[in-house]
Structure 1
Amino acid sequence: MFMHCETTVSTFSTPNEVIHLAAGLQFARVKTVVGTLWKVNDSTAQCLVEAFYKSLCGDGTMNSKRAARVLHQAVQRLACDRDMPLD
């Protein structure tokens, strides 16, 4: 499961009382959840998600144990893209 746009941020006024979306999915036993702590441009998130799932499922199987490595590789690809907006 991949989410973007501050999905792992709870509110400042109730930091201990609110379960954010990513934590809720983890409590529901979703094996791998990726969320952000910052705002993400929709087109940038789309590029990241495409690169993430292409690498994660590229060989036809989805192995959640590779998620962290695959996410790192996808972020590195975006960082090297000179056409990617900095905002």
Structure 2
Amino acid sequence: MDVNKNIAKLSLVIGLAAIAATSGASEIYSAKFRTIKTCLASIQKSTKQKLEIIRDKPTIVTGSLTNGETFACEVKETGSEGVYVEGWYTSK
């Protein structure tokens, strides 16, 4: 069941990336981190933008960059990878 959900999520991300590539919309960049703090620092360093946090919870932080793009860092847990933080941001 979880495998099907992951495949569906991956298909959605691939579909969104394909739409973004053909429509001139933002691209999505993502990576895995050990902590939310390192995730946020990496996004800020990569984008060279200030992070404007909208949602600040222990397991997820989301918001926008000063250029209007969006970002998120979320705690995830899998049987094979354990606990990690998935971070992503959009960029044109």
**Which structure is higher in helix share?**
1
TM > 0.5 fold call: no
Q: TM-score scaled by structure 2?
A: 0.33
* Greater strand content: 2
Using structure 1 for the length normalisation, give the TM-score.
0.34
